Amino acid sequence: MGKAPKVIEMAVYPVAGHDSPLLTLSGCHAPYFTRNIVVLKDDSGNLGIGEIHGGEHITKQIESYKPFVLGERVSEYRKVLTNIRRSRERAAQDTGEGLQQLNISNLKFVVQSEAAVECAMLDLLGKFLELPVAALLGEGGIQRDEVEFLGYLFYSADSSKIDLPYEKGDGSDSWESLRRTEMMTPEAIVKQARVLKDKYGFNNFKLKGGVLAGAEEMKAVDALKAAFPDARINIDPNGAWTLEEAVTLTQDRKNVLTYIEDPCGPEQGFSSREIMAEYRDATGIPVATNMIATNWRQFHHAAALRSVNIVLADPHFWTLNGSVRMAYLLNEWGMTWGSHSNNHFDITLATFVQVAAAAPGKIAPVDTHWIWQDGESLLKEPLSFIDGKIKLPDKPGLGVEIDLDKLGKQNELYHQMAFKDRDDTIAMQYLEKDWQFDPNRPVFCH
């Protein structure tokens, strides 16, 4: 085997896909979501791919990385990432707060956009070495040959009340129709879970909270546990509840909740890390986060305070190598690794499989939004779920191949959009006039 090939072409494709009016603490999802796709070509003719969050800020960042990538051997990806990081200046608007209060406008500062380049170069390196990306990550290589995902449940608004171009359901109970209809009751959430289990085989479920009053959302959690008694059930209010409310709602539900994700936010002068440590002490319920430990400095304080048990180390926040490095540390410390997700295409799904396959120990089932975007694949052969799991592909690199025609179609959709950055307020104001984001109030409790 000779020298590793060099990168000779780099293209950045901002893309869009269809979404449903899903509700979270930040408001209501727009009819479209956006992502950025990186496609590298090396001098052996192979293509490497990576996916990261959308938005023009991130598109411009990735475009600026081209001088550091072009002409470099794929085996030098670590040097490339180091040079990118050294060149990047902190944006003036970046306060360093991160996602502690789920300010979506800060998301672009939490995302490590170089992860898309890292992923694409690892894809090429894996093809050169004839190894999957999972074998190139971490200290111990591949840890499992299949990865379990959870069914990610959302409250969904009635799109007929929103004058925006959402796709409509046809009234059937198929997932393709159901995901485009209103789902706001415990019964509707249980139905959503049943359809997801039938289609994808999920054995565990997570409900996105921060939408209705906490007591109403816990009725849905109880209903899910009654319908799926053997399932791991958790809820993510994105820190919308006060400490007192979170304790009251959950302290008698240890047999219902396997864990809870970000139940409380900062209050009375204390940070979320301090408040969530008090929550753990008061309830004994394991706590997960993707809000208060999104970088190493935040994790240091969260770990010192024993605020969390499970760190959802999204490789888009941590990079692929950083996420797996976190997994090794958590395993050594008796904690648990998992991964959070945002709306994404299936390049990210393939990335999650590779990263989770390299994570040691007993990991949490991985989040994925892909089920809400299923049908808009960017790949020649989309990955498939069997019993809620995806097998590690037996091909090198990411184990998947980009379909350039599909990529072009989603790139065209992006350019048809008037507004490129995420703003969940726009759709939400059709449901609640003059609604504004408040990190301390569920969306229908203003």
Residues with a catalytic annotation lie at: 208, 340
Query: Which amino acid does the sequence have at 113?
Result: S
Torsion angle in degrees (nearest 10) through CA of 43, 47, 52, 58: 40
Annotated binding site: 236, 267, 290
Contact 26, 432 (CB under 8 A): no
Annotated binding site for Mg(2+): 236, 267, 290
Closest CA to 239 of 423, 99, 29: 99
The answer for residues whose C-beta is within 8 angstroms of residue 244's C-beta and 6 or more apart is none
Residue 24 to residues 8, 31, 85, 143, 404: CA-CA distances in angstroms? 42, 15, 32, 34, 33
Helix (H, G, I), strand (E, B) or coil at 49: strand
336-338 vs 146-148, strand pairing mode: unpaired
According to DSSP, the residues that pair with 207 across neighbouring strands are: 153, 235
Measured CA angle at 201 (ends 374, 37), to 5 deg: 30
Contact 364, 340 (CB under 8 A): no
Structure tokens at 43: 């001098």
Q: Which residue has the tokens 């502690």?
A: 100
Contact 75, 86 (CB under 8 A): no
How many Å separate Cα 99 from the centre of its chain? 13
Helix (H, G, I), strand (E, B) or coil at 360: coil
d(CA 266, CA 285): 19
d(CA 120, CA 128): 13
